[in-house]
A and B are shown apart, each in its own frame.
Chain A
Amino acid sequence: METFTEVRGIAAPLLQPNVDTDVIIRVERCVRTPKEELGRYAFEALRLRPDGSEDPQFVLNRDPWRSAKILVCGENFGCGSSREMAVWAIAGMGVRCVIAPSFGEIFHGNCFQNGLLAIRLEPQTVERLARRAADPGTATFTVDLERQLINEDTAFEIDPLQRKALLEGLDAIGLTLSRESEIAAFQAADRKRRPWVYELPA
């Protein structure tokens, strides 16, 4: 996994609430598009007009936000389906950090599996950052994970485990595999406690 220490780039305001993962990436793209190409289909439902042309009103179709590395979003961003392709699509656009008052929880977890920093902040703080992002003159943000600071003036909290995983690019599977003896011991005891979970018909 790509490590994350600091990101500097354009931030785009996308404040509508409840942007779901179906809107972020349509299901047929999940099924039929290679991971590396998902970026171009991100936010298709918002980005394109019915005739397939770009909607010039949509922020990610306008400069400088077209090349955003940071999204400043509304509440419950990434709600809905568990499709990890939503994160791959956003990452495929070049985005490394998503800021919102709240996230769909499965999406939030998926972000950290892919080196994407998801930051929760108070709604007023998100709105302030969105106003700043909406002005091309101030839309360049710096997000520093080590110091947990946005633009040198806005602190954020993050789970220590997720922070460490991003900074070091940890392999979660490798870490858990190193606990194999604990897993085996748990199962051995659990088999006695709840045999019906394990004893299944052939």
Chain B
Amino acid sequence: MSGLSLFEKVWREHVIASLGGGFDLLHVDRHLQHDLGGGRSLQALRKRGLAVRNPELTFATADHVVSSEPGRSGGAHDWANVLIDDLRLETKRAGVRLFDVGTDTQGIVHVIAPELGLTLPGTLVVCGDSHTCTNGALGAIGFGIGATEIVHVLATQTIVQRKPKTLRATFEGTPPRGVYAKDLILALIGKIGAVGGVGYAAEYAGPAVRSLDMEARLTMCNLSIELGAKIGMIAPDEATFAWLADRPFAPVGAAWDRALAHWRTLPSDADARFDREVSLDCSTLAPQVTWGTSPEDVIGVDQAIPQTAKSDALAYMGVQAGARIAGTKVDRVFIGSCTNSRLSDLQAAARVARQGKVARHVTAWVVPGSMAVKRAAEREGLHEVFRAAGFEWREPGCSMCVGANGELVEPEARCVSTSNRNFVGRQGPRARTHLASPATAAACALAGEICDVRTFLER
């Protein structure tokens, strides 16, 4: 018998019952809630006459509808404040811990869960948000669920899931300068397509992944869902443990030692078998940027838009097949989202921002992922770097990644964004999104057009 993969080991530890046909009833260790659906789901539960089964394993924050305007106290609109107030009322009633706006722990749910040590290796984490896969960077199984499933988890602390197949993506070689975790995962999506991971739990492995720091690993796992994989994981290692130690909800003392001994058993066995294996050579990659309306529409920044590009995507984006992507004029730059809003992302962007000024026709935002990120960045003076260069330094939340708070890119305006989705209308009706790394986004802000960040890094 072959060995087990990381995914199989963690899945197996959570099976309460097998339901037949490949479906299992799984224990949920961490249920994360946010302002978009949190209040409503708790109300729905109450209306059924049910209580939250394990409020101590349920955690909430306000991120989707909060304003990112400097000096904000909640949402920018009445309807947003209703959602935030509902979340406050319902979490209080249910005894669920809320990391509220206005406190030092608020932030994007997939930024704060790892940052607070809520997400631990080997845990099973769910949230009503598809980017819950981000949490897999710690060696957890994290996946997004729908509104009905949220109520199921609240009521039972369990979820019914069909066990997916396994895919291992091995990243070989050393990425060149200017190529970050965002570029690696976008390149993988470009290679196997947005449907390449459908039906699989992905594991990212190989030397290029092992050498990534934890924040970069979170970026990589964040885009699993854009690969079609609901789950994406990276084996926990010494870097994981060092990063987790002393986080507010991480175990301490003897409990830490015991947990650590367990976590060391989780990485895939050497003879583990995967249903699909793919590999990617990172050593020849250029910084990546998307040209179309799916994350799979991605090319090196030094390349031309493919001649085979779909005409509807070209028309929507206002670009030409065969044209070089570099030199495309941009109107907005958004540095933020659960993909790329952590301290190291802001540091990478600031290194570029130090070298110039945001082009006069560009509006550029930096939206830190959490209050903790914001404070840490300010301690380093990054907010001053961004402001001096002409970027707006804003308050933590999902902001313009999804525009649920009303912060939108204007119709037909072009935005280089460090977020995860370049879908039609994602950042606003008819908005044109180009996905890229924080360093590339900062470079585009300065150049006023899509440009190769490597020219800034060589200076």
Contacts and interface: CB of A to CB of B under 8 A. Distances in A.
Decide if A and B are genuine partners. yes
A17 interface: yes
A179 B429 CA distance: 46
Given A50-B430, A172-B148, A196-B259, A159 B16 contact: no
B91 interface: no
Contacts of A84: 146-148
Nearest to A32: B79
A155 interface: no
B130 A80 contact: yes
A187 B148 CA distance: 23
A183 B158 contact: yes
Interface residues of B, number: 73
A109 B229 CA distance: 14
Contacts of B157: 183, 187
B27 to A, nearest CB: 6
A60 interface: no
Contact of A201 (B50, B164, B248, B406): B248
A176 B160 contact: yes
A96 to B, nearest CB: 17
Contacts of B158: 176, 183
Nearest to B225: A80
A18 interface: yes
B20 A161 contact: yes
A46 B402 CA distance: 18
B288 interface: no
A148 interface: no
Contacts of A103: 198
Q: Which of A18, A172, A199 has the most CB of B within 10 A?
A: A18
Nearest to B262: A194
Contact of B155 (A102, A176, A182): A176
B198 A102 contact: yes
Nearest to B79: A32
Contacts of B17: 179, 182
Interface string A12-51: 0000111010110011101110000000000011100010
Contact of A26 (B146, B249, B429): B429
B93 interface: no
B258 A196 contact: yes
B356 interface: no
A188 to B, nearest CB: 12
A109 B194 contact: no
Interface in B370-387: none
Interface stretch (B120-128, B166-174, B268-276, B332-340): B120-128
Contact of A22 (B199, B251, B425): B425
Contacts of A80: 130, 225, 421, 423
A182 B16 contact: yes
24 contacts: A20-B423, A26-B425, A75-B195, A80-B225, A81-B129, A82-B130, A84-B147, A84-B148, A102-B199, A103-B198, A105-B198, A106-B144, A109-B149, A110-B146, A172-B152, A173-B155, A176-B152, A176-B160, A182-B16, A183-B27, A187-B157, A194-B262, A199-B251, A201-B249
* Interface pairs A-B: 3 shortest CB-CB: A196-B251, A113-B148, A82-B144
Given A113-B146, A176-B158, 13 more contacts: A16-B312, A31-B79, A84-B147, A102-B228, A103-B198, A104-B228, A159-B162, A180-B156, A194-B122, A194-B259, A194-B262, A198-B57, A199-B251
